[in-house]
Amino acid sequence: MRDLAEAQVAAGHSVGIVCDSTTGGAFEEHLFEQMKGMLALGIHRTPMQRHVGPGDLASAWRTYRIIKELRPDVLHGHGAKGGAYARLFGSLLRVSRSRVARLYSPHGGSLHYDESTVIGKLFFALERFMARFTDYLLFVSDYERRTYRHKVGEPPIPNTLVYNGLRATEFEPVITEPDAADLLYIGMMRDLKGPDIFIDALALAGPQFGRALTAVMVGDGDDLARYHGQVKRLGLERHVRFLPPMPAREAFALAALIIVPSRAEAMPYIVLETLAAGKPMIATAVGGIPEIFDTGSPALIRPDPIELADRMSQALADPVAYRDLMPDNANLKARFGADVMAADIEKAYFAALDR
């Protein structure tokens, strides 16, 4: 969102952000503070709960009042909740205004549900219903586009695939610190992202490699205390260091090999950031992650601690050879540059306005 907003401002657009105020911490607050001066429509944060519940009524009313005052030409909703708000409130604004383009980017969310369950059927029925209030769908990975078609149905509205993009400075290499750890996990501390898989693999890989491996785990979340307990239970306290959220490129310098052990993803920025920084990595072949790598890449595994432990041992045994197996930086920049992302999204905005 930050990269997209910066690119849109550079293109001459007036941009604002309306988002949840209950998630994130000091690091996220710092990022918002950095953006305030450049957004003509400002940053508006209000409580929004992730799951559907009674609190949605008050949240929806607060959000609608903010958006009504801003009177945007384009409303671009990200994720299931943001997508619902953008499309519903955009439709309400049309009652008193000639045109407001309503766009929606699914980011996992409801698409993760099993279509055979009652809750899954309900959410996918809602997605089909909401299509009539949507001018354009933007998918961040082909995986999400295929999942949408399978679970919701063929979109009856224009849609396109626009990959997440990185700024030019993020394609500069990050130098690993001399006293760096062997491994890095960076991300939310919740099971969906696989920190528990990483810790179990760390315990298994040590005996394979011939010494205890060291690791840094960067992030925050509701399950953080449980992962501390898992590390202690496996006797890894002296080998694992937990750190609070920080810029990804700062974290990359702390370890030789980056691990993304997620159980589910859409198109995670952390994988793109890692490769753009010239860092070797191992990632699970879930969601849109395989679309970033070459076919049959040795960097891809199943979300399984045994398989991850084997791959970590192999990669650390010959780090130079393993690094050479990562995707080419020039190709990454051509496919995943922020300028490419912003230009494609701008085309979608004008196409939606034309409708």
Does 161 lie in the same domain as 104? yes
Q: State which residues form the domain around 7.
A: 2-165+337-354
Does 293 lie in the same domain as 150? no
320 Cβ partners below 8 Å, 6+ apart?
A: none
Where residue 286 falls among pLDDT bands split at 50, 70, 90? very high
Residue 130 vs residues 29, 72, 124: alpha-carbon distances, Å = 32, 20, 10
pLDDT of 50 above 80:
no
Residue 66's H or E segment, with its range, is helix 55-70
SS3 17: strand
Which string of b and e fits 238-266 if b means at least 16 CB within 10 Å? ebbebeebeebbebbebbbbbbbbbbebb
When divided into structural domains, the chain yields a total of 2
Pairing of strands 281-284, 215-218: unpaired
Residue 313, domain CATH: 3.40.50.2000
Does 317 lie in the same domain as 180? yes
pLDDT of 327 above 80:
yes
Does 329 lie in the same domain as 343? no
Residue 321 vs residues 8, 277, 280, 326, 347: alpha-carbon distances, Å = 39, 17, 10, 10, 41
Does 196 lie in the same domain as 229? yes
Percent over 70 (pLDDT), the chain: 99
Does 295 lie in the same domain as 149? no
- In this prediction, residue 56 carries a pLDDT of 85
Higher pLDDT, 84 or 24: 84
Residue 36 vs residues 32, 42, 78: alpha-carbon distances, Å = 6, 6, 20
Crossing angle of helices 224-233 and 195-209, rounded to 10° = 20
- In this prediction, residue 55 carries a pLDDT of 79
Does 209 lie in the same domain as 316? yes
Does 347 lie in the same domain as 327? no
d(CA 145, CA 266): 10
Question: What token pair was written down for 326?
Answer: 């990562």
Question: What token pair was written down for 28?
Answer: 């996220």
Percent over 90 (pLDDT), the chain: 83
Does 73 lie in the same domain as 110? yes
User: For residue range 99-155, what is the model confidence (pLDDT) as tens digits?
Assistant: 899 999 988 777 888 889 999 999 899 999 999 999 999 999 999 999 999 999 999
